[in-house]
Amino acid sequence: VAALLDLSVDELKSPAFAEVFAGNRVLPGMQPYAACYGGHQFGQWAGQLGDGRAITLGEVVNRAGERWELQLKGAGPTPYSRTADGRAVLRSSIREFLCSEAMHHLGVPSTRALCLVATGDEVTRDMFYDGRARAEPGAIVCRVAPSFIRFGNFEIFAARDDTTTLGRLVDFTIERDFPEIEGNGADRRIQWFESVCARTAVMVAHWLRVGFVHGVMNTDNMSILGLTIDYGPYGWLENFDPGWTPNTTDASGRRYRFGQQAQIAHWNLAQLANALVPVFPSTESLEAGLERFASTFEAEQRRMTAAKCGFTDFREGDPELVGDLYTLLHKAEVDMTIFFRALADVDIARPQLEPLHAAFYAEDKRAATQSEFAAWLARYAARASIDALPEQIRRARMNAINPRYVLRNYLAQEAIDLAEQGDTSRIDELLEVMRHPYDDQPGRERFAQKRPDWARTRAGCSMLSCSS
């Protein structure tokens, strides 16, 4: 990310860099601000919110002519902090830092992370809101994106009946961040909303492809650019379960569970559409955008699912084949990431279950579903053989879309445990692994293994709260 900003290694090592990115120094030309926005949280209009602990330092245009905004998270109070402290703890900052980069390298649209600075301050948090507050080390992440504008930035002006500013923000956003959109006036705005819907659909299709659960898909956490933003109580599917959410704050309703993310994205876009009504010529033009979400999501999901299975396209019968697979993976507690890599290793001329064994969490469930998996694998092999791809090509294609390495919840937690004891080497090591998620990395097999038993119920591994 430093290279994107044309920062040299010497600059990264300078005391000035640490001062600026610890939030202690404003350089000439920087114009720090915190943004005001509103949002729908857990299905309800939550009124005015805002960057409670995010401060944009300014923007940089690099030598390639790209514009990037730099934003500190956790540097202290802002006008929108309400009663909170504006700080962030080390554990959540490590999680944001590593996951932003892991997502980017997986090919999932995301905000990026430049650096992680330990502040030396203590920050008090009650992790499970149960009266057991403790002092934790503080940290600041600098995130980087072309824009941090959220759905909620539009919703707030609609809520205030400020149509003039709402329209100006729409045109500003189009002008600055959607240069590919041509035309003018109402037509341009209509194309823009369709583009926002399409980008959001692509993002969510990628989440489902890699097994990512955002955890808090409130409209204030939805980027207008379709970037994954605000890494809080997110998690990665290990044993495949569409009903899973890592967010303990959402445990009762599980609104933001893995398998519901597309519906929630659509619901969030509908809230954005409602906010935009006063500056659009008709509600039909906004409905067209929402339809674009549905069609883009379906097309992307079909394309990605076919590729995950090593098929050249998604044909008749494939939705049933894949649907049956997901039912089986759920029932038998199978690790999604390991399974798809292993599926590439199955010889479709002589399909055997053996390569898939390592993906099962429970030996009894594996034994109990053996015949069902054998039957499914025979159907899969028959289907794959229709494409008549050479085995090496099928394997290479599958391995280019099914990651070997994802930021498993327990891997991040191990890095956090070490860092809290002063050893930050695991953060560097994990970052390096996550930069090449589709490559087999000899010597780093341990980072591709399924969740160990100790992590099944451990806080930070399977359960996370919004406290950060």
- Per-residue binding string, ligand AMP, 157-196, x by CB under 6 A, is ----------------------------------------
The rounded distance, in Å, linking the Cα atoms of 403 and 401 is: 6
Of 378, 363, 368, residue with least CA distance to 321? 378
Query: Measured from the CB atom, is 93 or 462 closer to ligand AMP?
Result: 93
- Per-residue binding string, ligand AMP, 34-53, x by CB under 6 A, is ---------------x-xxx
Give yes or no for residue 232 binding ligand AMP (CB under 6 A). Answer: yes
Per CB under 6 A, the segment of 83-91, 365-373, 383-391, 426-434 that binds ligand AMP is: 83-91
The rounded distance, in Å, linking the Cα atoms of 20 and 200 is: 33
Q: Is residue 290 within 8 Å of 266, Cβ to Cβ?
A: yes
Query: Measured from the CB atom, is 230 or 241 closer to Mg ion?
Result: 230
Give yes or no for residue 136 binding Mg ion (CB under 5 A). Answer: no
Query: Measured from the CB atom, is 111 or 221 closer to Mg ion?
Result: 221
The only residue of 84, 135, 362, 459 in contact with ligand AMP, by rule CB under 6 A: 84
The rounded distance, in Å, linking the Cα atoms of 56 and 191 is: 28
Number of residues that bind Mg ion (CB under 5 A): 2
Helix 185-210 with 283-309: angle, nearest 10 deg: 30
The rounded distance, in Å, linking the Cα atoms of 128 and 134 is: 11
Identity (one letter) of the amino acid at 61? V
Q: Is residue 312 within 8 Å of 302, Cβ to Cβ?
A: no
Rounded-to-10 torsion of CA 121, 127, 129, 134: -50
| Structure letter (DSSP) for residue 57 | E
Q: Given 10, 177, 220, 364, which residue is catalytic?
A: 220
The answer to whether 220 is a known catalytic residue is yes
- Per-residue binding string, Mg ion, 212-241, x by CB under 5 A, is ---------x--------x-----------
The only residue of 87, 95, 206, 383 in contact with ligand AMP, by rule CB under 6 A: 87
Give yes or no for residue 221 binding ligand AMP (CB under 6 A). Answer: yes
Determine the Cα angle at 409 with ends 408 and 412, to 5°: 90
Per-residue tokens: 406: 């994802």
| Residues contributing to the site for Mg ion (CB under 5 A) | 221, 230
Q: Which residues are catalytic?
A: 220
| Residues contributing to the site for ligand AMP (CB under 6 A) | 49, 51-53, 81, 84-87, 221, 230, 232, 466, 468
